[in-house]
Amino acid sequence: MAHPSTYKPGSRFGAWLDVRLPVARLTHDQFLAYPTPRNLNYWWTFGGILTFMLGVQIATGIVLAMHYVPTAEGAFDSVEKIMRDVNWGWLLRYTHAVGASMFFLAVYIHTFRGLYYGSYKAPREVLWILGVLILLLMIATAFMGYSLVWGQMSFWAVTVITNLFSSLDMVIPGLGTTLVQWIWGGFSVGAPTLNRLYSLHYLLPFIIAGVVVLHIWALHIPGNNNPTGIEVKTARDVVPFHPYYTIKDGFALVVFVLLFALLVFYAPNLLGHPDNYIPANPLQTPPHIVPEWYFLPFYAILRAIPNKLLGVIALFSSIAILFFVPWLDSSKVRSTRYRPIYRWFFWAFVITCVALGYLGSQAPEGSYLVFGRICTFYYFAFFLIVMPVVGLIERPRALPGSITESVLGYDAEQPVGKVPPNPPARARAREKVL
Tell me: the pLDDT tens digits for 353-386? 999 999 999 998 999 999 999 999 999 999 999 9
pLDDT digit string (tens) for 243-287? 999 999 999 999 999 999 999 999 999 999 999 999 999 999 998
In this structure, which long-range contacts are made by residues 275-278, counting pairs with CB atoms below 8 Å and at least 24 apart in sequence?
A: 275/151, 275/152, 275/153, 276/149, 276/151, 276/152, 276/153, 276/154, 277/151, 278/151, 278/152
Confidence of residue 428 (pLDDT cuts 50, 70, 90): very low
**Could you tell me the pTM of the whole model?**
0.92
How far is the C-alpha of 402 from the C-alpha of 407, rounded, in Å?
A: 9
pLDDT at 42: 97
Amino acid at 372: G
pLDDT digit string (tens) for 293-311? 999 999 999 999 999 999 9
User: Residue 2 pLDDT more than 80?
Assistant: no
Nearest partner of 237 among 403, 45, 70, 65, judged by Cα: 403
Domain borders along the chain are 25-289
3-state secondary structure 282-349: CCCCCCCCCCCHHHHHHHHHHHHCCCHHHHHHHHHHHHHHHHHHHHHCCCCCCCHHHCHHHHHHHHHH
**Cα-based torsion angle of the residue sequence 376, 382, 384, 389 in order, rounded to the nearest 10 degrees:** 150
**Cα-based torsion angle of the residue sequence 352, 336, 250, 52 in order, rounded to the nearest 10 degrees:** 50
Preceding omega of 291 cis (within 30 degrees of 0): no
Nearest partner of 397 among 344, 433, 424, 347, judged by Cα: 433
DSSP label at residue 279: B
User: Residue 402 pLDDT more than 80?
Assistant: yes
Where does 25-289 sit in CATH, by number? 1.20.810.10
Nearest partner of 130 among 41, 212, 16, judged by Cα: 212
